[in-house]
Amino acid sequence: MHVPPSIPRDGPLIDQPTWRSVLVSYAAMAAIPLSLWAVSRPLAAVAVLAAAAALFVGVRRAPGLARCYRECRGIAFDLGGTVRVTIAWEPTRDPA
C-alpha cells in the first residue's frame, strides 16, 4: 500500500512569496486603520477621496497639457461655458 509523503509541520506556509502577495498583504494591513478613520470621520474621508481623484486626473492630463503648451505656446480653459481663461506666452487675439 502506497503512503503519501507527510507534510512537514514546521515548514514555510508559502514557498516562494511574490511581490504581488507582499503588496497585497501591506495593502490589507493599511486598509484596516484607514477604514476605521473613514468611518469615524466620513466628511474628511470624502474630501481626501475627492482630492486623490482630482490629483489622479490632473497627473494623467499634465503631460498632454505640457505638450500642448510647448507646441501652441498657450492653453485656454472654458469654465462653465461663460468664462475662458487663457494662459499664453505672448498676447493672443482670441475672439471667444
Identify the residue with better confidence: 72 or 38.
38
Grid cell at residue 42: 466620513
What phi, psi does 84 have (nearest 5°)? -120, 125
pLDDT at 1 > cutoff 90: no
Grid cell for residue 4: 503519501
Q: Is the pLDDT score of 37 beyond 90? A: yes
Residue 45 burial (10 A CB sphere; 0-12, 13-18, 19+): middle
Residue 30 is which amino acid? Answer: A
- 78-94, pLDDT tens digit by residue? 777 788 877 777 665 66
Q: Distance (Å, rounded) from C-alpha 93 to C-alpha 19?
A: 55
